[in-house]
Amino acid sequence: MADDSPMAEGVGPPETGPTTHDEDGHLAVAFIADVRDAIGRPDAARLRTLVAELHEADLAALIEALDPDERTRLIRLLGDDFDFTALTELDETLRVQILEALPAKMVAEGVRDLDSDDAVTLLEDLEPEEQAEILAEMPPVERAAVARSLEYPEESAGRLMQTDLIAVPPFWDVGRAIDYMREEQDLPDEFFMLFVVDAAHHLVGTVALDRLLRSKRPTPISAIMDTDFEAVKAVDDQEDVARTFERYNLVAAPVLDEDGRLVGVITVDDIVDVIEEEAEEDIRRLAGVGDEETSDTVGYVARSRIPWLLVNVVTAFIAAAVIGLFGASIEQMVALAILMPIVASMSGNAGIQAMTVTIRAIATRDIAAKAALRAIGREILVGLINGLAVAVVIGIAAGLWFESIDLGVVIGVALVVCLLVAGLVGATVPLAFDRMGVDPAVASGVIVTAITDVAGFSVFLGLAGWWFGLL
């Protein structure tokens, strides 16, 4: 039976303002259900009304909540009303899946309305053939800007920058610059400063908007421009650019090519994304899960984790072999087998703590070459102090549990030695990998865990065997 209600005809849409989000700020379940209903009918008019007021981040959250086939249907139904900026808020895997499912012409029309940095974000993860197909559908000016940015290395300032900016010559006055910004149609949507360039487009200074607006119209731009500016190179790594923003509290920074010509600008909103991205990357690498995303398939995630699990198998067999050397001692004194996990757990945790602090310091460049020995010495001292504190507690507990003062002394001494070794290894291994040009976040965890396990079992079982004459 046909639905003749006004809602079915796209007339009299429901009020969506307060009901789009729940009390926690997330998209309301009922709202998502309304969107799914509009997609299923299909009712483009109602769908446009439902999502019209959504911020790009909320639109991205809505896309993630939908089923795969519903995502592309939503974009097709919205047509020109769909804001492709929302796709930049999605993780890489999901974004690529959606872009590959859409016609190249539709993607090109959506991309050409974006800032150049957002356009690059959408296209950079596609295959070269798909990039070329979409670029071919774009107007020449926009195509050239995006293609030029895509030529820069991945995760570089050139990929991150926005090519839309305001550049003026130093001989202009304030009045002419203001009039230019009022009359020119093709300006960035948001900007924080003007860039002053010479005839060859070399950057010679910057002018903050607040200083421009506070100056009288006849004032030459050269008189108010700041020549002491912080600029980045287009080939600089985005992590280094983020550190520059953090160090100098920048809101925006010009991007220069190898000849010092102005080619773009990076703003702080892009840097916030970089900081989050790099932090997530380090956390994943510490856990040995690579660059996987929540939208990746089970097969891909399993394949990406297997190599590190296999490495752990090797290190586990090494630790087991060490335990096997003391098999006779363990058979004669069952208490050793019961206490072994305590020693391994404490030394492993201490090593991971020292390793994590050291890797973070390397990532933020807080450890200089001359400070490396100081950092290692600090972690050894921390290991000694923590070892003494833990040794007293666990030594007394073990002695009372097994009614053996000697056993309490043995495990206490073993813990002091093990935590000393853990502090040394946890600080030294990441620094060594960094010196060798290997990412310490990727490789350190497995090595540190293996060394602390082997050291913990060797020290505890060896000391116990000597103390009780079991060897």
At residue 78, does pLDDT exceed 50? yes
Confidence (pLDDT) at 15: 44
CA neighbor of 427 nearest in space, from 411, 451, 391: 451
Look at 14-23, 257-266, 270-279, 383-392 and tell me which has the smallest mean pLDDT.
14-23
Look at 35-44, 59-68, 190-199, 432-441 and tell me which has the smallest mean pLDDT.
432-441
Confidence (pLDDT) at 368: 59
Q: Map tokens 């899946």 to a residue.
A: 97
Higher per-residue confidence, 291 vs 155: 155
pLDDT band at 4 (very low <50, low <70, confident <90, very high): very low
Q: What is the mean pLDDT of residues 224-247?
A: 93
DSSP 366-409: -S-GGGHHHHHHHHHHHHHHHHHHHHHHHHHHHHHHHT-HHHHH
Confidence (pLDDT) at 287: 62
Residue 283 Rama label (left phi>0; alpha psi -120 to 50; beta): alpha
Look at 141-150, 261-270, 289-298 and tell me which has the smallest mean pLDDT.
289-298
Percentage with pLDDT > 70 across the chain? 90
At residue 441, does pLDDT exceed 90? no
At residue 14, does pLDDT exceed 80? no
Confidence (pLDDT) at 236: 95
pLDDT band at 298 (very low <50, low <70, confident <90, very high): confident
**Any idea how long the chain is?**
471
Q: What is the mean pLDDT of residues 252-279?
A: 90
Strand duo 232-233 + 203-208: pairing? unpaired
Confidence (pLDDT) at 319: 85
Q: What is the pLDDT of residues 167-215, one digit of tens each?
A: 999 999 999 999 999 998 888 888 889 999 999 999 999 999 999 999 9
pLDDT band at 295 (very low <50, low <70, confident <90, very high): low
- Give the span between the Cα atoms of 56 and 74, in whole angstroms: 14
Higher per-residue confidence, 10 vs 184: 184
Average pLDDT, the chain: 86
Look at 53-62, 156-165, 444-453 and tell me which has the smallest mean pLDDT.
444-453
Rounded to 5 degrees, what angle do the CA atoms 236, 245, 292 make? Answer: 65
Confidence (pLDDT) at 187: 85
Percentage with pLDDT > 90 across the chain? 50
At residue 82, does pLDDT exceed 50? yes
Confidence (pLDDT) at 1: 39
At residue 369, does pLDDT exceed 80? no
CA neighbor of 413 nearest in space, from 399, 433, 429: 399
Q: What is the pLDDT of residues 370-383, one digit of tens each?
A: 577 888 888 999 99
pLDDT band at 225 (very low <50, low <70, confident <90, very high): very high
CA dist 331 → 340, 344, 399, 466, 468 (Å): 13, 19, 19, 15, 13
Higher per-residue confidence, 189 vs 130: 130
Confidence (pLDDT) at 2: 41
Confidence (pLDDT) at 6: 42
Q: Map tokens 């010509």 to a residue.
A: 261
Strand locations in 257-401, DSSP E? 262-267
Full set of structural domains in the chain with CATH: 29-151 (1.25.60.10), 167-269 (3.10.580.10), 298-467 (1.10.357.20)
Q: What is the CA radius of gyration of the chain?
A: 30
